[in-house]
Amino acid sequence: MIRPHDSIIVQTLGRFLIPVVQIFGLHVLFFGQYGPGGGFVGGVILGMGMILSVLIFGHDNTRSQIAKKVLHADGVGMLIFAGVGGLCMIGGGEFLNYANLEIPGLETASRRSLGIVLTQIGVAVDVAVTAVSIVFSLSAEEIIEDSING
Amino acid sequence: MTFSVQILLLLLLLTTAAGAIMVKDLMSSVLLLGSYSFFLALVWAWIGAVDVAFVEAVVGAGLATVLFLLTLFGTAPKDTRLRRPPPSLTTLIIFPLLGVLLLYAAKDLPAFGDPNSPASVHISPTYLEQSYQDTNTPNVVTAVLMDYRSLDTMIETVVIFASGIACALLLRRQV
């Protein structure tokens, strides 16, 4: 169990830094098509924002309750990624061939661009949730108690 | 000028890598490994692989350091100093030989940026020429990862998902 940090400097800086980190993560995620970045890095940065909030404000604070709840959705990222592939198959093509996404009024190249954005969101959700989940697993109460007692 | 920067980066890489292995304290070892990842990210950015540099900086210097530190806090006794036995005679003979072998093999590698190297003549030109018309995506790396090779990326995501599930199952008593 991680307790809230005592120092007011850390808490104030955390309140300032965490939104900046999250917005930078979203920027990296959605501008991965136009510059360096993409789903994996964006997901890790989003997860790092949540990890920072857990490390600063502790497990029980309402700010990190969201991070704890989000763990129950561990497979959502995979579902988004594979679901886009399934939609392509429904559209009449191969698995993950984004040109077959059934969206009227879009050219083939734009459909593939949209497919890239959607699958990147899937990767980002999966990576962010997994990073936070591993941190929660490593800081579980029982492990710390075991290492102190034995 | 450029040459000296490369030499400086190489020296920093070697120093931090050797330091992470030789240092007596596990905590210092973790932090040296983080700085090693940071210098490695600089090297990737230097040779033009900006996406790889981004991943190395974020995962190697950021996330991995946090995970190592949490593992240290969770498992190690409070004294994190190491008592390391001296290397055996076999190690001292085998590893320099392996290094010489690798250097010998490295002479056959194509030069950096060689347009006639096998990696640059097979399918990379097709990707570079076609990816913008095909996918409306200026970043070729993203187009290759997410469109042309999307099945590979999906299986990588499965691996990350499985690692998260495995950590939760092994380390927690209740989910």
pLDDT per residue over A35-81, tens digit each?
A: 888 889 999 999 999 888 888 887 665 555 665 666 667 788 888 88
pLDDT at A150: 43
Q: Do A131 and B63 touch (CB under 8 A)?
A: yes
Here the contacts of B151-156 (C-beta below 8 Å, separation 24 or greater) are B151/A95, B151/A96, B153/A119, B153/A123, B154/A81, B154/A82, B154/A85, B154/A96, B154/A119
With left for phi above 0 and alpha for psi between -120 and 50, is residue A107 left, alpha or beta?
A: beta
> Mean of the pLDDT values across residues B87-113?
90
pLDDT at B121: 86
How many residues appear in chain B? Answer: 175
Using alpha carbons, select from A71, A97, A73 the residue that is nearest to residue A85. Answer: A97
Q: Does residue A146 carry a pLDDT above 60?
A: no
pLDDT at B76: 58
Chain B, 107 to 136: residues with Cβ < 8 Å from chain A are 133-136
What pLDDT, in 10s, does the model give residues B25-44?
888 899 999 999 999 999 99
> Mean of the pLDDT values across residues A11-21?
91
Q: Does A2 map to a domain?
A: no
Q: Which of A27, A106, A143 to mutate against chain B (most B CBs within 10 Å)?
A: A143
pLDDT at B35: 93
pLDDT at A103: 79
pLDDT at B173: 64
Q: Does A121 map to a domain?
A: yes
What pLDDT, in 10s, does the model give residues B34-77?
999 999 999 999 888 899 999 999 998 889 998 888 888 777 56
**Quick one: CA dihedral B23, B24, B29, B32, positive or negative?**
negative
Cα B22 from Cα B84, distance rounded (Å): 9
The CATH class of the B1-83 domain is mainly alpha
Cα B52 from Cα B45, distance rounded (Å): 8
For chain A, the distance separating the N- and C-terminal CA atoms, rounded to the nearest angstrom, is 17
Amino acid found at B167: C
Cα B133 from Cα A12, distance rounded (Å): 48
What pLDDT, in 10s, does the model give residues B92-103?
999 999 999 999
Q: Does A12 map to a domain?
A: yes
Q: Does A1 map to a domain?
A: no
> Mean of the pLDDT values across residues B77-104?
85
Cα A148 from Cα A17, distance rounded (Å): 33
Structural domain boundaries enclosing A36: 8-149
Number of domains chain A is built from: 1
Cβ neighbours of residue B118 closer than 8 Å, sequence gap 6 or more: B110
Computed over every residue of chain B, the mean pLDDT equals 86
Q: Please check whether residue A138 touches B, CB under 8 A.
A: yes
Q: Say which of A40, A96, A139 has its CB closest to residue B154.
A: A96
Q: Does A38 map to a domain?
A: yes
Torsion of CA B9, B56, A35, B115, to 10 degrees: 60
pLDDT at A17: 92
Q: Please check whether residue B157 touches A, CB under 8 A.
A: yes
Within 8 A of A21 by CB-CB distance, chain B residues are none
pLDDT at B79: 65
Q: Please check whether residue B76 touches A, CB under 8 A.
A: yes
Q: Does A28 map to a domain?
A: yes
Cα B13 from Cα B15, distance rounded (Å): 5
Using alpha carbons, select from A37, A33, A42, A19 the residue that is nearest to residue A124. Answer: A42
> Using 50, 70 and 90 to split pLDDT, how confident is the model at B168?
confident
Using alpha carbons, select from A26, A21, A7, A8 the residue that is nearest to residue A50. Answer: A21
Cβ neighbours of residue A121 closer than 8 Å, sequence gap 6 or more: A29, A39, A80
Q: What three-state secondary structure class fits B25?
A: strand
Domain residue limits, chain B: 1-83, 123-175
What pLDDT, in 10s, does the model give residues A79-90?
888 898 888 888
Cα B135 from Cα B143, distance rounded (Å): 7
> Mean of the pLDDT values across residues A142-149?
54
ipTM over 0.85: no
